[in-house]
Amino acid sequence: MRYCTITFSAWNQGVRVASSSDDRRTFRICVTVSIIAVTVAVAHLIWPNLKIDFVTVLLLVIAALPWLRGIVASVDVPTLGSVKFRELQEKAAVRERQEVDEAVRAISTVGDDVPQDEKLSKIYELADKYEEARENMSSGYVRTASMGKIARDILSLMPVPSYHPGDDLHSSRSGHRLVAYLSFMARADCDQADELIRALTEREGIPYNQSWALRALGRIIDTHGSGCVSGKGIARLKGMRDGLKPGLDRQLLLATLVDRLTS
């Protein structure tokens, strides 16, 4: 008979007890999930002749999982397959690192021979092309690859010293917002970190743009450290993290960023 298998990651990760108001929300969710699962387990014990069987054990395991987040690496349940936690985050981190590395390699590859005004004009032409691709191409790999090439073409023209991302961060045009995010990839500005987070959490609704905003924030933190982000900025990131479906690349990337900023 095959039993449920739980694999643990390094114990020195520890269990972090919720202390901030944002973490207390997660704390309450954990309590609720655990109470429900334990209640079901108790009911299962009462009516089926008080037998402690595999179902009861499995329910108790489910009750414990919210408290083991960050320690549990995977849960392997017969017929249900394997649920992997930290592995998902690690795979998402690898994909993001590849995207960032490609973006960094693209920066300033056009060179300094092109005048700044001409560079800026070409950047906004590419921003228009990005919006057209989003509007006219069907969602999927081909569109994502096309938008990725446009993003790298924009980065090849950056940085532009005369460009300031403030207005574009809150623009109604998705292409202009993308330009602002990419500008932080080319020139990581610590002073603009909180404004970038505000645009990401309050204005940006396009997943592709959100991904670039998160990469830009990661680059700022890599370059200048976590001190660039205020407590309010961290709270905004936590709120966005908790509002996204668990397991999405953006949610996993947000979780990683929040961990870096609060550790």
Is the pLDDT at 66 greater than 80, yes or no? no
Number of C-beta neighbours around residue 182 at 10 A: 29
Do 70 and 123 belong to one domain? no
Do 213 and 120 belong to one domain? yes
Q: What is the DSSP letter of 83?
A: E
Going by C-alpha positions, the residue among 60, 61, 82 that lies closest to residue 73 is 82
For the chain, the average pLDDT equals: 81
pLDDT at 86: 64
Q: Which of 59, 84, 109 is the last residue of a domain?
A: 84
Q: Which of 20, 53, 84 is the last residue of a domain?
A: 84
Do 201 and 80 belong to one domain? no
Q: Which of 84, 108, 123 is the last residue of a domain?
A: 84
Residue with tokens 């849960």: 75
Q: How far apart are CA 69 and CA 30, in angstroms?
A: 10
Do 173 and 216 belong to one domain? yes
pLDDT at 214: 96
List, for residues 162-207, the tens digit of each pLDDT value.
999 998 999 999 999 999 999 999 999 999 999 999 999 999 999 9
pTM recorded for the entire structure: 0.69
Do 197 and 216 belong to one domain? yes
Do 25 and 117 belong to one domain? no
Domain residues for the domain of 51 are: 5-84
Residue type, 127: A
Rounded to 5 degrees, φ, ψ at 140 are: 155, -170
Is the pLDDT at 79 greater than 70, yes or no? no
Side-chain-side CA neighbours of 184 within 13 Å: the count stands at: 31
Rounded average pLDDT over 220-225: 96
Number of folded domains that form the chain: 2
List, for residues 129-159, the tens digit of each pLDDT value.
999 999 999 999 999 999 999 999 999 999 9
Name the pLDDT band for 49 (thresholds 50, 70, 90). low
pLDDT at 19: 41
Q: How far apart are CA 196 and CA 228, in angstroms?
A: 11
Do 78 and 98 belong to one domain? no
Do 206 and 174 belong to one domain? yes
- Asked if 148 and 120 count as a contact pair (C-beta separation under 8 A), the reply is no
Do 254 and 194 belong to one domain? yes
Do 71 and 109 belong to one domain? no
Do 213 and 236 belong to one domain? yes
Do 245 and 138 belong to one domain? yes
Q: What is the DSSP letter of 16?
A: P
